[in-house]
Structure 1
Amino acid sequence: MSKYDRSNATFGGYAVALGIVVAVVVAMALVVNGRQKEHIPSVDYRIDLASFSEEAPYPVYAPEGLPEGWVPTSSRLETGEEEGGPVTWTLGFATPEDRHAAFSMSNAPAETFITEKTLGGEPDGRSQVGGQTWERYYNEDESERSLVREEDGATIVVAGSSDYAELETLAGSLQRSEGER
């Protein structure tokens, strides 16, 4: 009698095929799992900060020492189109709670700047941050919260989809820049 048994040959082929399929599925799962971690692109805002310090006719503030998890995602510097026009800097962040917060500073007319940066928010009380009083604004339709303070001819707005605690963290990190006037 022959040692060849067709049922054993079929089972062996199935086992090899199944092993290959399982290896491919495991490899795909590892690749997909590795890509699930969100990568938030970060921007280097130092050039805008240096230009802002040179252009702004008022003391310039910038965030320093934010806790881990704050990622700068955008920086926009707007200088006045005509001589003596407003100088505005906006620096956006992804927060540790996966929300958005932005710091903006300008010497544009305060009422207009506040309305623009708070998205038309309504007064919502006050916050004490680092010995400074910040006015709170809230836009219910956009779920946008803001902290506002006026100082030395400029208006500072910290705003975003974050809760007030995260906005207060950003506001508390603002320090007068080295290139201050």
Structure 2
Amino acid sequence: MQRFTQGFYGYVVAVAVCFGLVGIFLLIAPQSREEHIPRVDYSMDIANLGRAAPYTVWAPSAPTANWVPTSSRMTTEKGTHTWRLGFATAKRAHAMLVQSDEKPADKFASRLANSEAVVGKRDIAGATWEERFRKDKDQRSLVRFLPDATLIVTGTADWDELSTLAASLKQQPKPTT
């Protein structure tokens, strides 16, 4: 018995027992082959922002096919109301809608887009959006300045996916209290 607990044979037995236990664990442990992306319901944030913000709230009119809303965060600081809504796109890139009444609007847009440089303009659903791009972060941004707020659609998603999100935005009615 001592020969199996010492030296080379002991090492081989210990490794074999470990591999056997790992194999048994892998056979009986449940495994999922499906991708799991956490999904959030952002309807309450739309309602809360509509009550709190002095500007018109814009939100996606309907869920875009195969897009998953992954985060929603509304903040109010120093009289400024900001809402961030994140998505995993159909191509599993990241896209985010940000809207705020932060002033100055151009500084806010530059901070969120990580770029001050406008690389083009894009007409989306009858509205003109600025295109901004930051190569080192692979971040594309669409910026639209409204009289009372700024809308930014940004992320690692391609221009077509960002444009799809921007085109889906609709003004939300003010909630009744």
By the TM > 0.5 criterion, same fold?
yes
Question: Distance between the aligned counterparts of 1:179 and 1:152, measured in 2?
Answer: 17
SS across alignment from 2:137? coil
Cα distance in 1 between the residues matched to 2:130 and 2:77: 26
Partner in structure 1 of residue 137 of structure 2: 142
Q: Per-residue CA shift, 1:4-30, capped at 9, x if unaligned?
A: xxxxxxxxxxxxxxxxxxxx99x94xx
Code of the residue aligned with 2:70 in structure 1: it is T
Deviations 1:102-158 (A, max 9, x none): 000001021221122102252110111101110000001100000000113110000
The corresponding residue for 2:58 is: 61
Residue of structure 2 equivalent to 1:98? 92
Unaligned 5+ runs, structure 2: 1-22
2:30 is equivalent to residue 36 of structure 1: no
Among the aligned pairs, what percent are the same residue? 39
Superposition map of 1:1-181 within 5 A: 28=27, 32=31, 35-81=32-78, 85-109=79-103, 110-120=105-115, 122-179=117-174
User: What is the RMSD computed on CA atoms of the aligned residues?
Assistant: 2.2
What is the rounded CA distance, in whole Å, between the counterparts of 2:123 and 2:106 in structure 1? 21
Could you give the per-residue CA deviations for residues 50-89 of structure 1, whole angstroms, max 9, x where no partner exists? 11001111111111123211111001111133xxx21110
Contact 1:70 1:95 in 2 (8 A): yes
AA aligned opposite 2:152: V
Tell me the amino acid that sits aligned with residue 141 of structure 1. Answer: D
Q: Secondary structure at the match of 2:136?
A: coil
Amino acid in structure 1 at the alignment position of 2:162: L
Taking structure 2 as the reference length, the TM-score comes to 0.79
Structure 1 gaps, min length 5:
1-23
Query: Normalised by the size of structure 1, how large is the TM-score?
Result: 0.77
Q: Structure 1: how far apart are the matches of 2:164 and 2:157?
A: 11
